Amino acid sequence: MAYSSIRIYRLVLFFLIMSSLLGAKLFYLQVIHGRQLALEGLNIRVQELPIEVARGEILDRNYQPLTNTAKQYSVVVFPGQLPKTTTQQLVKLKNILDLSSEQLEDVVDSLHTNEYPFRLVKGISSEAAQKINAMQIPGIVAIAEKVRYGQGLLASHIIGYINSADNKGVSGIEGMYDEFLRGNQAEYVAAIVDAGQQIIPGLGYKRLKLDIGNRENNVVLTIDKNIQQKVEESMDLSIVKGAVIVMRPTTGEILAMASRPGFDANNLSNYFGQSSAPLLNRAISAYQPGSVFKLVVAAAALENKMVKMDDVFYDPGYIDVNNVRFQGWDYEKGAKGYLTITDALAHSSNPIFIEVALKLGAEKLISMAAKFGYGSKTSLGFLGESGGNLPEADLLYPGDLANLAIGQGFCEATPLQIAQTVATIVNDGIKVEPYIVRSFTNSDGAVIKNFQSQPGKRIIGRQTAEKLKKMMTAVTQYGTGQAAYVKEFGSAGKTGSAETGRTNTIGKGINHAWFAGYTPLDHPQYVIVVFVEEGMSGSNVAAPIFHEIAEKILKS
């Protein structure tokens, strides 16, 4: 009796062990290794062509898509399913697609030369796609595919582009957050076939998205798509080369950032080697700021109490520094006469600001410029951003300091740095760092991480900032920037015309045009910087563009 119990016990134990091992094996195959095995098994019975690699969307602050905003139709050929007796149907296909005889021959040749599915034609109309699918030609199907950059030029330098060969981001947000945006879940158009590689009746052609690897995530920007569109519409009418930035002064949020010429990321090869450098993001590239830099000179002079608002200066139309004559920008008109510091900024007096800078000294001026952020990159962290150039104080001779006072010589700044300067003044002397990414979300839209404005740092006193704002208001009310004044709302700013040292075909000097300002006057909401490369005049070119953009934004 005891012996029988032992045998039963051993038998039960054996089955328990075998069941456990079998369960563990099943768990490994179905749960741990199941997806890979499913993929391998499916590959045996599927003829597939990748049509879309998973990549998260780039959205504006209101969750409006800036990528994946369009679709195109393509014709896919499965050579293994295409019988050799469809010549008449292929002729119909040729007529629908308007193919050449050579292209039709390529399709026929594919019966013998191609083993794997391939795209025959991209970018056909939806009507043509419907006609092709209605023909039900074995081995030929029209499919819809997302176009990553369907909006063409909109925000192209912000978004950047990818290398379509490996789905990796190269520039802009695509490059900066590539690993976050990029998923591993490719989508396929597939023909489900039997052991003889013939399509299984009833299954036809399917779109498959296998749930393997990492899922894509989305990047939500601070950009306002509506404002971005208005900015780019104005640029397309008046800026061949240049940049515009719209920034929230209190938070540092970039509401719009655009560069011209732009580019279509769907056709990158068209832009390589062009002399106009359309892939260059001019909003974060460095240029001589010209008279816009006088804001920094005024800030340094007021903050160091070297100048009072009621001080009076004399502008004879020029100033001599170590036997070198520096002329006013309108020297041919003669002396401007006696001016306060406010009048000097309003009329952009070179002689007076050079006089102030020489009195101030290189060390104090360079120190103030560095506090504003000149000579170093912002915290935006954008790919390709320049830090500009700010010379060392002890290397500046009087003539160099005179050039610096009017934004010439060794001084270089980006439109983004200029926007930060204006924002600091508007923000009562507190510098906030610009940022362009608002949050990360997963593919279902759930927020993974939020980004917020960082605490600002005081650069100049509140009283100095108030004085600078009054001076900038004078620029638009009776100075060089009157074309930038916005009725009903008011605006303030500073013009700039930076010499490049080059001349045009008639021997006239080529200048870059700037206007940097804010609007409205009460409770300013927008800092707007307009830079027109080789635009010649800040007053005549950049200021009117500022006015147009500001009006569009404020009245929308």
CA dist 472 and 299 (Å) reads 12
Phi and psi at 499, nearest 5°, equal -70, 140
- Out of 19-23, 34-38, 539-543, least confident range: 34-38
The residue type at 382: F
Confidence of residue 452 (pLDDT cuts 50, 70, 90): confident
Residues 6+ apart with CB under 8 A from 543: 480, 481, 482, 483, 484, 493, 495, 515, 530
* Angle in degrees, 0-180, between the axes of helices 87-97 and 126-135, rounded to the nearest 10: 170
Q: What is the mean pLDDT of residues 475-489?
A: 97
What stretch of H or E contains 174? helix 172-176
Please tell me the predicted confidence (pLDDT) of residue 119: 77
β-strand partners of 339: 313
Determine the pLDDT at residue 72: 82
Least confident of 102-111, 146-155, 266-275, 397-406: 102-111
CA angle at 431 for the pair 428 and 436, rounded to the nearest 5°: 125
Closest CA to 369 of 414, 324, 332, 421: 421
The CA-based dihedral angle spanning residues 34, 39, 43, 48, taken in that order and rounded to the nearest 10 degrees: 160
Question: Residue 28 and residue 533: Cα distance in Å, rounded?
Answer: 63
The proportion of the chain whose per-residue pLDDT surpasses 70, expressed as a percent, equals: 81
At 215 the pLDDT is 77
User: What per-residue confidence (pLDDT) applies to 102?
Assistant: 76
pLDDT band at 193 (very low <50, low <70, confident <90, very high): low
Q: Hey, what are 417's tokens?
A: 């740095």
Segment among 60-64, 126-130, 258-262, 485-489 with least mean pLDDT: 126-130
Long-range contacts of 410-413 (CB under 8 A, 24+ apart): 411/288, 411/289, 411/293, 411/369, 411/374, 412/286, 412/287, 412/288, 412/289, 412/386, 412/388, 413/286, 413/287, 413/288, 413/289, 413/293, 413/374, 413/388
Mean predicted confidence (pLDDT) in 55-77: 87
Nearest to 408 by CA among 391, 421, 392, 425: 391
Is residue 35 predicted with pLDDT exceeding 60? no
Amino acid 36: pLDDT: 52
Q: What pLDDT, on the 0 to 100 scale, is given for residue 195?
A: 53
In sequence order, the β-bridge partners of residue 46 are 192
SS3 346: helix
pLDDT at 40: 45
Residue 137: the pLDDT is 78
Q: 44 versus 330: which is more confidently predicted?
A: 330
pTM across the whole model: 0.83
Strand-pairing partners, residue 189, are: 49, 207
Q: What is the mean pLDDT of residues 73-90?
A: 71
pLDDT averaged over every residue in the chain? 86
Residue pLDDT, tens place only, 496-525: 998 888 877 777 888 999 999 999 999 999
Tokens 């900066």, residue located: 176
Q: To which H or E segment does residue 376 belong?
A: none
Residues 6+ apart with CB under 8 A from 251: 432, 453
Q: How is residue 65 annotated by DSSP?
A: B
What confidence category does residue 44 fall into, taking pLDDT thresholds of 50, 70 and 90?
very low
Distances (CA, A) of 326 to 299, 351, 404, 408: 22, 7, 12, 12
Mean pLDDT in residue range 361-378? 97
| pLDDT of 481 higher than 80 | yes
The DSSP H or E segment spanning 38 is helix 34-44
Contacting residues for 444 by C-beta, under 8 A, at least 6 apart:
none
Pick 343 or 53 by higher pLDDT.
343
Centre a 10 Å sphere on the Cβ of residue 231 and count the other Cβ atoms it contains.
Answer: 27
What is the pLDDT averaged over residues 226-248? 97
Q: What pLDDT is stored for residue 43 in this prediction?
A: 47
Domain ranges for the chain, please list them.
Answer: 2-32, 225-265+279-554
Nearest-angstrom CA–CA distance, 110 and 445: 43
Which pLDDT score, from 0 to 100, does residue 362 have? 96
Q: According to the model, what pLDDT value does residue 310 have?
A: 93
Q: Which residues contact 395 (CB under 8 A, 6 or more apart)?
A: none
Whether 42 shows a pLDDT value over 50: the answer reads no
Helix, strand, coil shares of the chain as percentages rounded to 5? 40, 25, 35
Question: Of the given ranges (90-94, 306-310, 336-340), which has the lowest mean pLDDT?
Answer: 90-94
Q: What is the mean pLDDT of residues 257-282?
A: 91
Candidate ranges 72-81, 105-114, 162-171, 466-475; pick with highest mean pLDDT? 466-475
In terms of pLDDT, which residue wins out, 318 or 152? 318
Whether the predicted pLDDT of 153 surpasses 80: no
202, pLDDT greater than 70:
no
**Does the pLDDT value for residue 29 go beyond 60?**
no
Host H or E run for residue 191: strand 187-192
- What would the mean pLDDT of 269-297 be, rounded to a whole number? 94
Q: Measured between alpha carbons, how far is 361 from 404 in angstroms, rounded to an integer?
A: 11
**Residue 440 contacts residue 216 (beta carbons within 8 Å):** no
Structure tokens at 348: 């952009």
pLDDT of residue 14: 65
Segment among 1-5, 41-45, 213-217, 256-260 with least mean pLDDT:
41-45
- CA pseudo-torsion sign 545, 548, 550, 553: negative
pLDDT at 241: 96
pLDDT in tens, 86-125: 566 677 777 787 777 777 777 666 656 666 777 777 778 8
Looking at the predicted structure, is the pLDDT value of residue 131 above 70? Answer: yes
Distance CA 84, CA 188 (A): 25
Report DSSP state, residue 478: H
Q: Is the dihedral of CA 102, 104, 108, 109 positive or negative?
A: positive
Q: Which of 494, 542, 544 is nearest to 242 (CA)?
A: 542
State the pLDDT confidence band at 197, using cuts at 50, 70 and 90.
low
Would you give the distance in Å from CA 313 to the centre of its chain? 44
pLDDT at residue 201, as a whole number = 53
Torsion of CA 127, 132, 134, 139, to 10 degrees: -150
What is the fold, at CATH topology level, of the domain defined by 225-265+279-554?
Beta-lactamase (3.40.710)
What was the pLDDT predicted at 139? 76
